[in-house]
Structure 1
Amino acid sequence: MRKPIVYMWPKTSPHNKYSELLTNSIEQNGLQVEHYDQKAMFKPRRGDIVHLHWPSNSYTASAFPLTVVKSLFFALLLLAYRCFGMRLFWTVHNVWPHTGKSGWDKLMRKYILTVCHEAFVMSESVKAEVAATFGVPASKLVVTPHGHYVNAYARKGKDIRKQFGIAPDSFLFLFIGRINPYKGVDQLVEAYAQLGQGGCELLVAGHVDAGYDLGFIDRVNDGTIHLYPQFVDDLELADYLEAADVIVLPYKQITTSGSAILALSHKKPVVAPRLGALGEYVSEGCGILYDPDDPEGLLKALRLSMEMDAKETEMHIAAKLRELDWGRIAGKMIQIYTGTKRYEVNA
């Protein structure tokens, strides 16, 4: 019997190592994976797998009439795959696109979930949210965690503390990633400014969305807040993480955070709100979660993070990373692909 080919949409991404790491693990577990794009549109055969990841670009365009046309084509394509015997899956990385949500997004995402055989979600909380938001049965949503990033980013050996004039013995809070209103950097800066504690510094690094004013940093900066408003290259990412004591992710909204998993992969505790899947990944001992509705929640979490025992924290993180092993995740995902067994993996 011919083994199915997995058409991963996409197989690799320049913005995220997730697809590459998943692909490598699936191939190591015995299935061939091909990149899906327009050139591969007519390649899948009966029994093959078509696995979507970020579908919004496939149904949206610059103008609404074009969006309608593009959406109809996309919907018919998925339906044709289903009718001709391909197996369809979608990993719901985000309940809504990063650009925001709309009625059209809800319509299309509900359709995708309906036409797919099953969908993967990365936590129980996201499973519940997706089922409630789009009215699909929970039995169609399979919980498979986001794998870790251990050894995915090699150190370049750059001394980040020296680059920014951060003392070697300072307790360093780090925010790293895209900087926009939804990431809560303004709340982080405000909370840090209220710490009133010496011996600590804050580094904010990442690409700033056009038009987002970072003047709130200058207004409270006492010289211990450092800003690098540029994209952090993959070759330097590990160096930034290694320089920090704690990674702070003060998101105002989130589904699943690869940044939290990236931090844990470098054995760094995480400070984050109890939102989306964060509570299931930043489990007890791996960091500090706070109530996003508590005005002093982030401030209290920063203080608590400075009191964490390093060795004990590392033990908790190591246990979490064993749960997020890619081989384990890919092997179970393959069984879902082929319909040989149903099961859920909890992060």
Structure 2
Amino acid sequence: MSNPTVYMWPKASPHNKYSELLTKSIEDNGLQVEHYDKRNPLKPSKGDIVHMHWPSYSYQASSFPLTLIKSLFFAGLLLFLKARGVRLFWTVHNVWPHSTGKSKWDYRMRKFILSVCNKGFVLSESVKQEVTETFGVSADKLIVTPHGHYVDAYVGTGTDIRGRFGIPPEQFLFLFVGRINAYKGVEKLVEAFLSLKLESAGLLIAGKVDDGYSLDYIDPINDGRIKVYPQFVDDRELVDFLKAGDVMVLPYNQITTSGSAILALSHFKPVVAPRLGSLSEYIAEGCGILYDPDDPDGLRKALAKSIDMNMSEAEKHISKKLAELDWQGIAGKMIKVYTGTKRYEVNV
């Protein structure tokens, strides 16, 4: 009996290396992986696997009437594939889409997707619990497979980011890198940082600002210690920005799983973040500082505490966590779930 083909949806993304790294690991373990092409949606045959990652892009549209039509086509496609004997899987990266948040239609669609999938993958135990409670699915239907690390996934250009922004080499630098919008909590970070009044520390905020959000509030209150780069940080310079910082700060208002936190750990940068979603499972003891999001002074205290971290000890803790996020082990577990059997050898 030949091995099934895995149709990854998508196999690669221009904004996230997760699918690409997962694909490589699955291929290293002996299964063929192809991109699920919507131009040839009926290519998967009996026994093959279709693995979805961000299905909201396949059922959402610019207006509800269009969303309804798109959703019906998408639901029909999944039902057809299921009837054809294709095994369906969904990695629930976010309980709710970032674009729309919680809506009744998203609830119906996501509950439906989980109902037709053979299994769902979740990136932490806390997300598993949230998904089961939110959508009323059995815990047995959800398999925890952690988000793999980004070690060696990005190569820098060697650009001196501190030099570019006039940041002294000896200054302790808090770093925020990523898309900037309302749920990221950047305004709270600015407020907490300025309240520290530490001349020996700086803050660098870098990332594309989403439409409808603005960083204009920073200029009137900036005392010169905050540097802002409101542009998309491409893959070539991402490592350069990470090397410039001492600590990554992710002051999210809401989060399921943070690739940014894993990216920071992959470059041995401790993380300051709220105790939300699965962050407490990834930012393990010694890998950073988690604070109570309900404490109005929690972020400020966490920033102050991070300055006194023993970075050598932090690196040891981060190394241990990265070993748990090895892609080969994740791929091996997924392959066993895909096939429903242990007859396929995996290189774990």
TM surpasses 0.5: yes
Q: Tell me which residue corresponds to 1:59.
A: 59
Q: Which residue of 2 aligns with 1:256?
A: 257
Deviation at 1:161?
A: 0.2
Distance 1:281 1:134 in 2: 24
Match of 2:247 in 1: 246
Kindly report which structure 2 residues correspond to 1:280-319, keeping only aligned pairs within 5 A, or say none: 280-319=281-320
Aligned residue number for residue 131 of structure 1? 132
* Letter of the 1:9 counterpart: W
* Alignment of structure 1 residues 27-66 onto 2, 5 Å: 27-66=27-66
Comparing 207-216 with 89-98, which one deviates more in the overlay? 207-216
TM-score by length of 1: 0.97
* 2-structure distance, mates of 1:167, 1:264: 24
Matched, 1:115 2:116: yes
The worse-fitting range, judged by mean Cα deviation, of 65-74 and 43-52 is 65-74
Contact 2:179 2:207 (8 Å CA) reproduced: yes
Q: How does 1:8-19 map to 2 (within 5 A)?
A: 8-19=8-19
Q: Residues of 2 paired with 1:30 and 1:40: CA distance?
A: 24
Q: How does 1:148-159 map to 2 (within 5 A)?
A: 148-159=149-160
Aligned counterparts of 1:205 and 1:254: Cα–Cα separation in 2: 19
Partner residue, 2:97:
97
Whether 2:325 is the aligned partner of 1:324: answer yes
Secondary structure at the aligned position of 1:38 is classed as coil
2:219 corresponds to 1:221: no
Provide the secondary structure at the position in 2 that maps to 1:204: strand
CA distance in 2: counterparts of 1:215 and 1:71, whole angstroms: 38
Q: Following TM superposition, by how much is the alpha carbon of 1:93 offset from its aligned partner in structure 2, in angstroms?
A: 0.3
2:268 matched residue in structure 1: 267
Q: For structure 1, which segment, 312-321 or 73-82, has the greater mean C-alpha deviation from structure 2 after superposition?
A: 73-82
How many angstroms does 1:239 deviate by? 0.3
Q: Give 1:23's aligned residue.
A: 23
In the TM superposition, residue 84 of structure 1 has moved relative to its aligned partner by 1.3
Give the distance between the partners of 1:183 and 1:49, measured in 2 at CA. 34
Shift of 1:281: 0.3
Aligned length: 341
Rounded to whole Å, the distance in 2 between the matches of 1:80 and 1:169 is: 61
- Aligned residue number for residue 183 of structure 1: 184
Compared CA separation, residues 27 and 116, structure 1 to 2 (3 A): same
Deviation at residue 183 of structure 1 after TM alignment: 0.3
Query: Which deviates more from structure 2 when the two are superposed, residues 102-111 or residues 209-218?
Result: 209-218
In structure 1, what is the equivalent of residue 346 of structure 2? Answer: none
Q: Which runs of 4+ in 1 moved over 6 A?
A: none
Query: In the aligned structure 1, how far is the partner of 2:210 from the partner of 2:51?
Result: 30
Instruction: Tell me by how many angstroms 1:63 deviates.
Output: 2.0
Cα shift at 1:76: 1.2
Q: What secondary structure sits across from 1:173 in the alignment?
A: strand
Q: Which deviates more from structure 2 when the two are superposed, residues 121-130 or residues 32-41?
A: 32-41
Partner of 1:271, secondary structure, is: strand
Q: Specify the SS of the correspondent of 1:216.
A: coil
The Cα shift of 1:39 comes to: 2.3
Under a length normalisation based on structure 2, what TM-score does the superposition of the two structures give? Answer: 0.97
Distance of 1:211 and 1:31 partners within structure 2: 43
Which string of whole-angstrom CA distances, capped at 9 and with x for unpartnered residues, describes residues 123-150 of structure 1?
0000000000111011101000000000
Given the superposition, is the C-alpha separation of residues 60 and 211 from structure 1 closer, same or farther in structure 2, using an over 3 Å criterion?
closer
State, as a whole percentage, how many aligned pairs show the same letter.
Answer: 69
Supply the distance in 1 between the matched residues of 2:196 and 2:26 (Cα, whole angstroms): 46
CA RMSD of aligned residues (A): 0.8
SS of the aligned residue for 1:255 comes to: coil
* Matches of 1:234 and 1:20, distance apart in 2: 14
Judge conservation of contact 2:42–2:81 (CA < 8 Å) in 1.
Answer: no
